[in-house]
Amino acid sequence: MAAWEENVRKVVPYTPGEQPKSRNIIKLNTNENPYPPAPGVERALREMDVQEFRKYPDAETRPLVDVLAEYYQVKPEQVFVGVGSDDVLAMSFLTFFNSGKPILFPDITYSFYDVWADLLKIPYACQPLDDEFHIRVEDYKKDCGGIVIPNPNAPTGVEMGLSQIEEILKSNLDVIVIIDEAYVDFGADSALSLLPKYENLLVVQTFSKSRSLAGMRIGYAIGCPKMIKYLNDVKYSFNSYTMNMTALTLGVEAVKDDAYFKETLQKVMNTRERVKGELKALGFVFQDSKSNFIFASHPNYPAKELFEALKQAGIYVRYFNKPRIDNYLRISIGTDAEMDELIAFFEKYIK
Ligand code: PMP
């Protein structure tokens, strides 16, 4: 090892899902929305004035902050916008988890949390889900440096009830509790309704799944004005112009078309419910999912084998080679036609 390498900040990075080049792949591996963004997004993109690109974008991300504040009926001072919720979460870890005490999150969860904690040298303690992949509230009632819980959880898809979230908030008034709601729009209850009661709550959401804009990288957090001010202070100390003009403009269009948003969500949820029945009929087992994916296991076919066979057939799903979940496939909900192909594959393979 070269001498300089001894002082390098060494990290084991997060591994994102594969983004295959071929268009013929049925891509059910990264929980993207199978439907296009709202029609207004395309219109606004065509109308964008390229001349404007010589200028810096709005550092305050104002157009998006305002439209989100209006949509969720909060004050603009309560909204923070970032480059996908990954950026928002990373900034939140950096801003809020500085006590030196371990932060708490589930053992089976979004695999970026421990990466940020390691990167930022934040101690953490993973709290095991029960055998049915449910979060145990008691595990989150202890002295800690903060809490992060995705609701619904990923990659399990399991929803936690708002009363349980409230119990956790109540027991942790001295630290920040982040509820990562990347998938909440697909049928779970948002903790946004608890904001007026709990100053220690930060709700994080994204445009990547329910608003079909993963490629634009837009995420946001909603919390009390003081918390958002602290987040902005850190953001401005890191990179003032995080959101580019295109993302700011197109994000606004996506929020404005609520009818399209709701219609798309309903389509994904209808497909999910149908696929649940078909997977069950094939012998798959899984907890009920309130997200746009199903985390399933088959008693007779190892998940790794199914994952490889699906890939050979041009169907990509996600497989995690990790303790407790190495016999599961995370299957994103695609269009009806895509899910038909998946089911047809399983019918041949399994029967
Ligand atoms: N939280 C969870 C639980 C996720 O699964 C994801 C998607 N990988 C994210 C946050 C980040 O999504 P994005 O940065 O695209 O908003």
Distance between CA atoms of residues 223 and 205, nearest Å = 12
| Cα of 2 from ligand 1 centre, angstroms | 36
Ligand 1 centroid vs 146 CA: distance in angstroms?
Answer: 19
Is 286 close to ligand 1, i.e. is its CB under 6 Å away? no
Q: How much is the pLDDT for 181? A: 98
Q: In 3D, which of 210, 214, 292 has the Cα closest to residue 255?
A: 210
Q: Is the CB of 208 under 6 A from ligand 1?
A: yes
What is the distance in A from the centroid of ligand 1 to the CA of 104? 18
Q: Is the CB of 30 under 6 A from ligand 1?
A: no
- Residue 39: asked if its preceding bond is cis (omega within 30°), the reply is no
Confidence of residue 23 (pLDDT cuts 50, 70, 90): confident
Structure tokens at 100: 């030196």
Assess whether pLDDT exceeds 90 at residue 146.
Answer: yes
pTM higher than 0.95: yes
Q: Which two tokens stand for residue 158?
A: 């399991």
Which of 208, 213, 217, 293 has most ligand 1 atoms within 8 Å of its beta carbon, as the pocket-test mutant? Answer: 208
Shortest-distance atom of ligand 1 to CA 207? 16
* 7-16, 108-117, 277-286: range with lowest mean pLDDT: 7-16
User: Is 182 near ligand 1, meaning CB less than 6 Å away?
Assistant: yes
Interval between CA 265 and ligand 1 midpoint (Å) = 17
pLDDT tens across 172-200, in order? 999 999 999 999 999 999 999 999 999 99
Separation of 349 CA from ligand 1 center, angstroms?
32
Distance 86 CA to ligand 1 centre (A): 6
Distance in Å, CA 85 to ligand 1 centroid: 6
Percentage of the chain modeled with pLDDT above 90: 97
> Ligand 1 pocket, 206 CB below 6 A?
yes
79-91 tens-digit pLDDT: 999 999 999 999 9
Evaluate if residue 280 carries a pLDDT over 90.
Answer: yes
Nearest CA to ligand 1 atom 2: 182
What is the whole-number distance in angstroms between the Cα of residue 156 and the centre of ligand 1?
14
Q: Average pLDDT over the chain, rounded to whole?
A: 97
pLDDT at 22: 84
Q: What does the pLDDT average to over 121-125?
A: 98
In this predicted structure, the answer to whether residue 17 has a pLDDT above a threshold of 90 is no
- The whole-number pLDDT of residue 20 equals 87
Tell me, what's the pLDDT at 141? 98
Q: Is the CB of 150 under 6 A from ligand 1?
A: yes
Say what the pLDDT of residue 21 is: 85
Q: For ligand 1, is residue 110 a contact (CB within 6 Å)?
A: yes
Per-residue confidence band for 206, with pLDDT thresholds at 50, 70 and 90: very high
Mean pLDDT, residues 333-351 taken together: 96
